[in-house]
Structure 1
Amino acid sequence: MFLLNLQSKEPIFEQIQTQILSFIEAGVLKPNDKLPSVRQLATENGINPNTVAKAYAQLEQKGYVYNLPKKGVYVAEISMENSKMLQIEALLKPLKENGITKEDLITAINRLYGEDNNA
């Protein structure tokens, strides 16, 4: 299910997060679907369980998954606001990776929406 590039410059925990969010966005993972256990995902991909746990913890902080102790990690009901944020993050991530700064983005957004920072 997960295709991780261990030679990539992108940290593995971020690759896991990106793929889970992509699966949610595409409808492959639906609300209340159970994710692979930390141990299972780590073993299948030959990575440290702490890496998987970090990915899951950050997704939980953002509200994309929830953890039921001793039962596992599940996909959360994603609100319309979270869905919008998911789409925006998917658009912005490649820009950030290509060296576009926050200031560049703000300038472009202000220009797009007809706002002038110098006013």
Structure 2
Amino acid sequence: MKTRLALAATACLVAAACSTTTPPPPASTRQMSTYDMSTEYTVEYVADGFMLTMNYRYPDFVLRRSTAEAQCRTVATNIANNLAERRQRPIVMPEAQQIRTVTERKWTGAVATCAAVAHVVWQK
């Protein structure tokens, strides 16, 4: 009898855990556009240029953080150049130190993803 009661309680808890939903994202979250198979980005245009926010998934096995950050900054630069071409306006590219990056690792130790934020200014 105790075993049945324990199993029933466990099943009830599992069902309740599976039925809970995650809270909706904040209202300020923007829809991300796809750049390529590994890259998503959002752009917020401001008076002097635009803010670029990018998420990048590494397709290769990258172990060194410096290599991962350099690759992430290169992808952010490519996206900024592409957006400037679409607007037909020249830009002043931010220096590598001005592009903020955050990397995350897999359990194997390889760098899995990178998020970057850059303020890109229109050339005067």
TM-score, structure 2 as length reference? 0.28
Instruction: Specify which structure has the higher proportion of helix.
Output: 1
- Structure with higher strand content: 2
Q: Normalising by the residue count of structure 1, what TM-score does the alignment of the two structures yield?
A: 0.29
Say which structure, 1 or 2, has more relative contact order (CA 8 Å, 6+ apart).
2
Who wins on radius of gyration, i.e. which is larger? 2
